[in-house]
């Protein structure tokens, strides 16, 4: 495996198994981070309208394309439907803004960011339409539990290609992994380092020392060997290089079992308490506003 390694989604689209996340990053920083990541061989970038940095990500991508660092067809770009944009007509209309900010003609993957009850089925119908129109190569969901993912499967002929959820050694989502495997849905893991908490675990330290790697590298290797598409977030160029330097060693069965044993089923975000599953008008958090982004989000 390396940064060119891809998994095949259930509609035949091939997606890199490792990429860069840009959550909680302003537009100027996102542009620099995306450019640096592509320069160092990253092929996948994950953003969302909710992050308020699609415009910055778009600038970083455009610069990389203009400088000949990568071709568009070799880049895999993901964004997500903001909670306040859910519903069939609204999701279709607001998608134009995402493409405009990213300066792209199409997305490789488009996800429902959170399962807003009363809205996500209609939002899913909009994503199916965008895929039919060729504006999105693959579609999926994010932060869906088994119950709500099963509702999608019961009401649509199109099975989500991806469910992006929290995944790290302390939150291994065993039930969701089993359900997703049964239905040919790939799991993509956000917060693969558990907001840094997992790196201080003594088991991780032992595995890292055994392979002469950092705790972060041991964790990221565990994530990808678990078959999870992994998107660590960093704005530091050296850390990007370090995060991606996980291909010259392999965890053996003993290592994998040891790390699996430290699962606490402990979320770094307990999202039910944030109202994501709220009433028809309770959308939870809206788009993050950065000083350089206000004009980009008038759509």
For residue 84, the domain's CATH number is: 3.20.20.100
Catalytically annotated residue among 35, 42, 51, 120: 51
pLDDT of 277 higher than 70: no
- Strand-strand pairing, 44-46 and 76-81: parallel
- Tell me, yes or no, whether 292 lies in a domain: no
Quote the percentage of the chain above a pLDDT of 90: 83
Report the mean per-residue pLDDT for the chain: 92
**What pLDDT was estimated at residue 279?**
47
Do the domain assignments include residue 297?
no
Residue 118 lies in a domain: yes
Range of the domain at 127: 15-266
User: CA-to-CA distance for 19 and 259, rounded, in angstroms?
Assistant: 22
pLDDT above 70 for 104 = yes
What average pLDDT does this structure show over 282-292? 69
Question: Is 3 among the domain residues?
Answer: no
Instruction: Report how many domains make up the chain.
Output: 1
pLDDT at position 199 is: 87
Our answer to whether residue 179 is catalytic in this structure is no
Q: What residue ranges in 12-86 does DSSP mark as E strands?
A: 14-16, 20-21, 44-46, 76-81
pLDDT for position 190: 94
pTM for the whole structure: 0.94
Task: Specify if 24 maps to a domain.
Answer: yes
- Residue 276 domain-assigned (yes or no): no
Q: What is the CA 104 to chain-centroid distance, rounded?
A: 18
Contact present, 207 and 217 (Cβ < 8 Å): no
Residue 74 has pLDDT above 80, yes or no: yes
| Residue 231 near residue 192 (C-beta atoms within 8 A) | yes
Are 17 and 65 contacting, i.e. CB atoms less than 8 angstroms apart?
no
**Inside any domain, residue 136:** yes
H/E stretch holding 102 reads helix 88-102
Q: Which residue has the higher pLDDT, 166 or 294?
A: 166
Mean pLDDT of 154-177: 96
With respect to residue 277, please indicate whether it lies within any of the assigned structural domains: no
**CA 284/CA 271 separation, integer angstroms:** 10
């Amino acid at each position: 495996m390396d940064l060119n390694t891809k998994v095949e989604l259930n509609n035949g689209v091939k997606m890199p198994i490792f990429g860069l996340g840009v959550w909680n990053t302003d537009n100027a920083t996102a542009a620099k981070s995306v450019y640096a990541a592509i320069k160092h061989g990253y092929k996948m970038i994950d953003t969302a309208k909710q992050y308020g940095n699609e415009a910055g990500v778009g600038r970083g991508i455009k610069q990389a394309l203009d400088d000949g660092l990568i071709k568009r067809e070799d880049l895999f770009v993901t964004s997500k439907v903001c909670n306040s944009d859910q519903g069939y007509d609204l999701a279709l209309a607001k998608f134009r803004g995402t493409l405009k900010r990213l300066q792209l003609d199409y997305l490789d993957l488009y996800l429902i960011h959170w399962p807003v009850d009363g809205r996500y089925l209609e939002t899913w119908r909009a994503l199916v339409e965008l895929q039919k129109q060729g504006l999105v190569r693959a579609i999926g969901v994010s932060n869906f539990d088994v119950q709500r993912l099963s509702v999608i499967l019961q009401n649509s002929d199109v099975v989500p290609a991806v469910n992006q959820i929290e995944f790290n050694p302390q939150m291994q989502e065993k039930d969701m992994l089993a359900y997703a495997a049964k239905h040919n849905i790939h799991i993509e893991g956000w917060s693969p380092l558990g907001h840094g908490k997992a790196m201080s675990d003594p088991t991780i330290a032992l595995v890292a020392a055994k392979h002469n790697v950092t705790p972060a590298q041991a964790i990221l290797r565990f994530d990808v060997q678990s078959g999870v598409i992994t998107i660590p977030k960093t704005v530091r160029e050296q850390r990007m290089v370090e995060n991606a330097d996980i291909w010259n060693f392999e965890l053996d069965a003993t290592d994998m079992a040891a790390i699996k044993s430290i699962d606490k089923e402990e979320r770094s975000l307990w999202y039910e308490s944030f109202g994501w599953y709220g009433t028809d008008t309770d959308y939870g958090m809206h788009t993050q506003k950065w000083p350089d982004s206000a004009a980009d989000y008038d759509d």
